Structure 1
Amino acid sequence: MNAKRLAIILLLNLLGVALFLSWFLPGNHGAWFSIDKTVFFWFNQHMATSHTFAFLLAIANYRGFDAVSLLAMGLLYWSYWLRDTPEGRRRMLAIGVCMLLTAVVLNQLGHLLPVQHSSPTLFFKQAYRVSELTGIPAKDASKDSFPGDHGMMLIIFACFMLRYFGKKAFSIALVIAVLFSLPRIMAGAHWFTDVAVGSLSVVLVGLSWWLMTPASDAVVNWLWRNLPGKYKPGLPR
Structure 2
Amino acid sequence: MMMIKRLPYILLLNAAGFALFLSWYLPANHGFWFPLDSGIFLFFNQLLAKSQAFLWLVAITNNRAFDGFSLLAMGCLMLSFWRKEDAAGRRRIIAIGLVMLLIAVVVNQLAQGLMPVKRSSPSLYFPNINRVSELLHISTKDASKDSFPGDHGMMLLIFSAFMLRYFGKKAFGVALIIVVVFIFPRVMIGAHWLTDIVVGSLSAVLIGLPWCLMTPLSDRLIDLFDRYLPRKCNKDKTNN
Q: Distance in 1 between matches of 2:223 and 2:129?
A: 49
Query: Residue 119 of structure 2 contacts residue 145 of structure 2 at CA under 8 Å; is this kept in 1?
Result: yes
Which of structure 1's runs of 4+ aligned residues deviate more than 4 A?
none
CA-to-partner distance for each residue in 1:119-165, whole Å, 9 max, x for gaps?
00000012211111112211000000000001111100000011010
Q: Partner residue of 1:28?
A: 29
1:120 to 111, 116, 122: 122
RMSD: 1.2
Q: How do residues 130-149 of structure 1 correspond to structure 2 at under 5 angstroms?
A: 130-149=132-151
Once the two structures are superposed, residues 69-105 of structure 1 have per-residue CA deviations (whole angstroms, 9 ceiling, x without a partner) of 1111111110001101111000111101000111111
- The equivalent of 1:192 in structure 2 is 194
SS at match of 2:192: coil
Cα distance in structure 2, aligned partners of 1:158 and 1:38:
28
Aligned to 1:158: 160
The CA deviation at 1:230 is 3.0
Instruction: Give the equivalent residue in structure 2 for 1:129.
Output: 131
Task: Tell me the SS of whatever aligns to 2:145.
Answer: coil
3-state SS of paired residue (2:209): helix
TM-score, normalized by length of structure 1?
0.95
SS at match of 1:41: helix
**Residues 3 and 216 in structure 2, CA contact (< 8 A), matched pair in contact too:** no
Unpaired stretches in structure 1, ≥5 consecutive residues: none
How many pairs does the alignment contain?
Answer: 232
Separation of aligned partners in 2, 1:134 and 1:2: 53
Larger radius of gyration: 2
Residue of structure 2 in register with 1:75 after alignment? 76
Q: 8 Å contact 2:3–2:215 — kept in the other structure?
A: no
| Letter of the structure 2 residue corresponding to residue 51 of structure 1 | Q
Find the counterpart in structure 1 of residue 97 from structure 2.
96
> Match of 2:203, as an amino acid?
S
TM-score, reference length from structure 2: 0.94
Structure 2 residue runs of 5 or longer lacking an equivalent are none
Amino acid at match of 2:34: F
User: Which residue number corresponds to residue 42 of structure 2?
Assistant: 41
Q: Work out the CA distance in 1 between the residues paired with 2:132 and 2:143.
A: 10
SS of residue paired to 2:130: coil
In the alignment, which residue of structure 2 is the partner of 1:54?
Answer: 55
